[in-house]
A and B are shown apart, each in its own frame.
Chain A
Amino acid sequence: MPPVADPSEPEFDLISLLLEDQQRLTAVEKFSQQHHAASGHLHRSLYQDLIPLSAPGPGEQYGFEVDLDKCSGCKACVVACHSLNGLDEDESWRNVGLLTSRTPQKAAPAPTPAVMQHVTTTCHHCVDPACLNGCPVLAYEKDPLTGIVRHLDDQCIGCQYCVMKCPYDVPKYSDRMGIVRKCDMCQQRLGDGEAPACVQACPTEAIRIQVVNVAGIRGEYLLASGGPRGNGFLPDSPAPDYTLPTTRFLSTRPALKDLSAADADVVQPAPAHVPLVFLLVLSQWSVGLALAGGSPWVRDVSVLRLLAGGALATVLMGLGLGALHLGQPFRAWRVFLGWRRSWFSREAILFGLYSGLVAAWCAASWQMPSAGSALGRTTAIVGLAAVWSSIMVYVDTRRAFWAMRHTAPRFLSTTVMLGAAGFGAVGALPGEPARNLAALVFGVSLLKVFLELILFRHLEATPGTPLAGSARLLLSHLARWTAVRLGSLAVGGLLLPGLMLSGVLPLDASGFAFSLALLVVSEFAERFLFFRAVVPEKMPGGVT
């Protein structure tokens, strides 16, 4: 028994005694060990009915099944995924969203019964995974036996294209590692007959692993016509006909389809991806200059050399800055691997080819100016193909704001406008050609302003859609950038060329240079907004 003493006795130091005792870990020495000899998994009896007895056969794969009637929103699955997989402090591969009713009782003839319905979701291990299809380095594989979509962490270059491709917001980028990671259905556990962490941890047995029929999923999602929200999967979630998710959500709730995600009305700016902003604007500017170099309005070889040199400088700068986007740039040499399916691969290959051609064209313009024009035309054509691949990179994400009708006019007009203004600035032929260039800048700018303004019609016409969300972001969180964008475009693309065309300002290189400077600013702002104002699809989220 430790002595108890009079505090006046200085030699007795209870404080030190207690502090020392406090640092001793006693659980092992004081308590006998339970399950000391146990092997295997004591939880097994709790989940053995929640995982399949046998592996999938031909035409089958594993899929999650979530019984929404049982999902109470405790979110133990999220934390168990984190703990049992040893993930980073803020990392989990599961997420729990909330569907709720929000129809005014008076307004609706038959109001949706009030309800809180939580939805646990993770990777759907899709039949046709968009992440896998988009990956430029084949860092995804779909296990031929189980159908599990697995991410190869040591292959990943951290380009995050899968993050843009996955409509369910599943792959998550890690700043620490410079790669993405995602759910692998705990395939190491499943391989040993153990349930995935989330399945083990659900107190209400709401999550299980099922063997699903691939043809059945194809049939259901590709043939089915959805309800009012048009998807037959879950409300406020991406249409399943794109990637064919294998997760089954079961519910006996009749009004499930009429519920809304708790965060359906909330829009937040998406990541800016500044290196990609530079890559896109500079590479398109380069191709514009290459197009100018192929035109008959080139005054002399010095202008040709300036255009070729400009095209080379901009594309190299673009590619160099663009590489900063990668989390693992030293693995990026594998970027061609995905060319069969990935527009990202194709873009990298085409811009690689294009920059080689620009370099050759540039060299030729110094060595043998006469050879420049044929090579210049080839370069411009490859450049246009590369710009087209850039367009397809974003179109292929199926994000509404990045659809063909929004992306193609943006990227092509950037190419033409910056090429024309740059051409004018380095000295096009005076007279009609210069006038045509100014008119081109003016016309394209007018088109851009028009296209960007008509987006705002979605605020009234289709509220609640991703496009309306983008419009809201442009007018709220991103309003300053929108002002910079439209202001610099109005001055650089409309006012200055207009004054040049009407004879108020001279139609010379200096006028074009002013215009160009403003247009470059304007295009960077436009491309910044292109990334920030996109509203990605995702599964229903929680209260924000």
Chain B
Amino acid sequence: MSGNHNLLRRWQGPMTRELLQKPAAFGLGKVPERLVPNATTRMVCGFCSTGCSLDAHLVDGHAVNLTPTAVHSVNLGMACPKGWEALTPLEAADRATVPLLRDERGVLRPVSWRKAMERFCGEFRRIQETHGPDSVAWLGSGQITTEELAFLGALGKFGMGIRHGDGNTRQCMASSVVAYKQAFGFDAPPFTYADFEQSDVIVLVGSNLAIAHPILWQRVLRNRNNPQIVVLDPRTTETASAATLHLPLGPKSDLVLLYSLAHILIARDWVDHGFISKSTSGYDAFRKFVAPFTPDFAAGQSGLKVEVIEQLAEMIHNGKAVSFWWTMGVNQGHEAVRTAQAIINLALMTGNIGRPGTGANSITGQCNAMGSRLFSNTTSLFGGRDFESADDRRAVADILNLSVDRIPDTNSLAYDEIVAGIREGRIKGLWLVGTNPSHSWIHQGEFNELIRNLEFFVVQDMYHSTETAQRADLMLPAAGWGEKEGTFINSERRFGVIKKVRRPPGEAMSDFDIFRLVAHFWGCGELFADWTTPERVFQIVKQLSAGRPCDITGIRDYQALDDCGGIQWPWCGNGGDAGNPPTERRLFEDGRFFTEDQRARFLVETPRPPGEVPDSQFPWILLTGRGTSAQWHTQSRTSKSQILQKLYPAGLYLELNPEDAARVGVGTGDRVRITSRRGSIHASVFITSTVRPGQVFLPMHYPQVNRLTYAEFDPYSRQPSYKSCAVRIDVAN
């Protein structure tokens, strides 16, 4: 362009310079000139459980931009929109910057940390003294680090004498936890992401992988075996649209369908007898149990054709490496544990486990769902131990150097039982950390009524604007991902590090430091004398894992995690420093499980209908789920990025089949009222034949959706069943 300087046409100038790019160092390629970094560092993403590695571009330690790490086993140089925009939500105007305390007139007003802590301890102590120690409970989050979860769990149970603590992972992963524990003897997802690329048959149950886990869908599309991709989902999702076989089964008919697949495999003797006899128990009872689940019966229940069910059974039989994957379509069901186990049964009976490209694999939801499962000290004692086992309590007491009496000898209430405790007046104080149940809890209207009965309600969050924080008596401002250190554990059991690349606003501090403050002001600081930094707590977590299936004693420190691009559990390193572990490892390669007899269990139960089914008054089934890749859960973070806002509809929309739209008399863009027995909300209509007649779909990210949902829970996992309730659709006036 050098010859092109003239008065009439301007090729150069200040506006052109705004978009000038410059090659950056560190292998980043060209970046905007005004964002050229002088260092980079990689860290694991803080949204979902995929655990992508992101390179923060640093100028004097401060992150100015971010790109997906080029060479990393998880994300292979890619990220979804949330990952690309991970820094933006940190800058939001509604970040909580100081503690807020509700005054006599009901207004949240800024107070000092000292005042906040005195009030926190004073109120919770008073409640415990008045109503008994179990009258205070906490609810944590799969969004905070393993070290923070461990601190919260130890502080709550051993320091403050709180028995009842749970986490929002109850809403996403609890069913998989119980399914694995019962079937494998430990909460142990067996897979590694390479399995996506090594299968020749990939069966996705209740998973819109392409939208919910785009980077895992990337692995599916990189599979060079020309795999059969089978999707079981009532909706024709993006994933189903791209599948080689989609089974649009009726909602909540999955358990029957899965049993009928087992029936066909047994009837045709398409089972791996060697594996069954060597590595499993309970097969005979299982075989008898599934005998009545004929393809005809399943076809009647699911609305599928017999041939399609048989076709899938045949695919499973013909596959050399069949992998089964499930997410919330299974976990958030009224018989979710048994459904997950029905999938596990299929993998066990066909010997599709412990080999490359196989497995019965639960893909988790939140970035640290697994940290919560293993080390939050809530449902299970540290390291997947049992509160009710004296040996386990003794082991933990020894490691933590505390009196064994401090460890509760009974289990915590589950999330919904804590909510019921509030209803019944047994729980009077509640401490929420990094979660937003006023939006996300099933039948939220009741929840929001109940929390008014609390005598003291504390919310600890990055934003003072969340639906829940606005209802708090005390709001504690937390630092977020990128403003603190710690580790997350992803879906394939990989520990990854997060780092401090941004300063939190005002007086916000990491959840870790807030827990230090609480310990200090509660007067139990001496118990946590060693819990001074996240990395020291990581060393404590290592000790807690020793000898457990999730043993990580071989991971030296954060630097080792950073150098290796994350390390999967278990890694005991054969007595210290045994070099770096292989990048991708799967469990059960020797056919031995974590049960006492080292055999996996076949577990079954007679299917039953959900608690609420459509009737003449409420004739539609309401399905809920992920809307777009740019939205995360209750949107407290993703709504803060203007570029992400462009990627999803601003208002709530209802997916409606054309036939039903004609029945209601509405077109795309028209407003409708959706009513369940619990509430009534409005949405605009999106007509698409990807939902079946009689079913409608709402994306879960909009705050009003859970006013409709029906509070039913899996009896074993206590996980809410978000994906099935009965509604009516009317034209909105």
Contact = CB atoms under 8 A, between A and B. Distances in A.
A22 B236 contact: no
A461 interface: no
Interface string A165-195: 0000000000001010100000011001010
A228 interface: no
A79 B516 contact: no
Given A19-B507, A72-B214, A75-B629, A154 B42 contact: no
A211 B690 CA distance: 36
A138 interface: yes
Given A39-B25, A101-B688, A152 B16 contact: yes
A69 B10 CA distance: 42
Contact of B643 (A15, A79, A205): A79
A58 interface: no
A170 to B, nearest CB: 15
Contact of B16 (A115, A154, A203): A154
A112 interface: yes
Q: Which of B13, B630, B658 is the most central at the interface, judged by chain A CB atoms within 10 Å of its CB? A: B658
Nearest to A328: B15
A49 interface: no
Q: Which of A69, A75, A111, A153 is the most central at the interface, judged by chain B CB atoms within 10 Å of its CB? A: A75
Given A38-B25, A101-B688, A5 B513 contact: no
A226 to B, nearest CB: 24
B65 to A, nearest CB: 6
Nearest to B670: A265
A116 B238 contact: yes
A14 B218 CA distance: 47
Interface in A113-156: 114-118, 138, 152-156
B504 interface: yes
Contacts of A2: 532
A78 interface: yes
Interface string B15-36: 1101111010111111111110
B70 A75 contact: no
Interface string A192-205: 10100000111111
A364 to B, nearest CB: 34
A395 B26 CA distance: 52
B238 A73 contact: yes
Contacts of A37: 25
A76 B84 contact: yes
A373 interface: no
B456 interface: no
A155 B9 contact: yes
A333 to B, nearest CB: 10
A544 B648 CA distance: 8
B520 interface: yes
A112 B689 contact: yes
Contacts of B31: 84, 86
A31 B211 contact: no
A204 B77 CA distance: 11
Contacts of B75: 203
Interface residues of A, number: 99
Interface in A25-51: 25-44, 46
A73 B558 CA distance: 35
B460 to A, nearest CB: 14
B72 to A, nearest CB: 10
A25 B500 contact: yes
Nearest to A82: B643
Nearest to A174: B15
Given A43-B70, A86-B32, A116-B690, A74 B27 contact: no
Interface in B356-390: none
B517 A15 contact: yes
Contacts of B42: 34
Q: Which of A70, A92, A204, A263 is the most central at the interface, judged by chain B CB atoms within 10 Å of its CB? A: A204
Contacts of B113: 15, 19
Interface of B: 8-16, 18-21, 23, 25-35, 39-43, 56, 58, 60-62, 65-68, 70-71, 75-81, 84-85, 88, 112-114, 117, 210-211, 214-215, 217-218, 221, 236-239, 241-242, 248, 479, 483-485, 497, 499-504, 507-510, 513, 516-517, 520-521, 523, 525-526, 528-529, 532, 558-559, 562-563, 628-630, 642-649, 653, 657-659, 662, 667-669, 684, 686-690, 693
Given A7-B525, A104-B659, 10 more contacts: A4-B526, A15-B112, A25-B60, A25-B61, A26-B499, A34-B562, A116-B236, A116-B237, A203-B217, A544-B669
Interface of A: 1-2, 4-7, 14-15, 18-19, 21-44, 46, 69-70, 72-76, 78-80, 82-86, 89-92, 96, 100-107, 111-112, 114-118, 138, 152-156, 177, 179, 181, 188-189, 192, 194, 200-205, 262-266, 334, 337, 542-544
Shortest beta-carbon contacts, A-B, top 5: A86-B32, A154-B13, A41-B29, A38-B27, A42-B70
